[in-house]
Amino acid sequence: MDATQRRTDRPTGRSTGAGVLDALGEDGFRALLLSCCDAPAWAERVAARRPFGTGEALLAAAAEELAATTEADVDVALAAHPRIGERPAGAASRREQAAALAADPAVLDALAEGNRAYEARFGHVYLVCASGRGAEELLAVLRSRLGNDPATERAVLRRELAAITDLRLRRALDEAGTGAGGAS
């Protein structure tokens, strides 16, 4: 299953959810955005574009603004992400890494070693959309990305950040639309 299938194979409550999210106060809406992508300037720009009216409009605005986000703001967002294979504190990260966290301890040790090598090479956390992926797959992806040059890896990282942000926003829209409560 590829990242597109993971992101789009979801229940839909997005039309109702967009109305619920549009009705949030400024601080509540920004907090929701930051729970999806902890890039403050991005969240400010997305929030400034309200009201959206539809989930698709929110998702499009979020993607456009993320593509325009500075490297410094991307770095802020990266700092908020836990290492793959470690027990994350946030509910969204715990849910996304659930399959990986159930792995054999030897695979988790290899992930920890790979995380250290990645951070030494690129200077930031290894970011990957982990939802629905097991530890072995995440380890293979990490090892393959270690061969990237820094510019290529930065482009990959930005695509992964966009996938994670989109996944979390879709979940927030669905939960708001079904009354399941909150984005985490």
pLDDT, mean over the chain: 84
CB 66 within 8 Å of CB 37? yes
CATH classification of 3-178 is 3.30.360.10, yes or no?
no
pTM for the model: 0.81
**pLDDT: is 94 or 165 the higher one?**
165
- pLDDT of 73 > 90? The answer is yes
Q: CA–CA distance from 7 to each of 2, 17, 53, 89, 171 (Å)?
A: 9, 17, 21, 22, 9
DSSP state string for 90-136: SHHHHHHTHHHHTS-HHHHHHHHHHHHHHHHHHSS------TT--HH
Express each pLDDT in 2-14 by its tens digit.
444 444 434 344 4
Structure tokens at 130: 């982990």
**pLDDT: is 61 or 108 the higher one?**
61
pLDDT, average across residues 3-28: 64
pLDDT, average across residues 85-114: 71
Give the per-residue pLDDT at 67.
97
Give the per-residue pLDDT at 49.
96
Q: Give dist(CA 155, CA 152) in Å, integer.
A: 5
Handedness of CA 160, 165, 168, 173 (dihedral sign): negative
Give the per-residue pLDDT at 9.
37
| Nearest by Cα to 135 from 164, 107, 157, 95 | 107
Give the per-residue pLDDT at 45.
97
Express each pLDDT in 107-123 by its tens digit.
888 989 999 999 999 99
CB 13 within 8 Å of CB 177? yes
Please report, for the chain, the start and end positions of each structural domain, with discontinuous segments joined by +: 3-178
Give the per-residue pLDDT at 16.
63
Give the per-residue pLDDT at 12.
44
Express each pLDDT in 120-176 by its tens digit.
999 999 999 988 888 899 999 999 999 999 999 999 999 999 999 999 999 999 888
Give the per-residue pLDDT at 93.
58
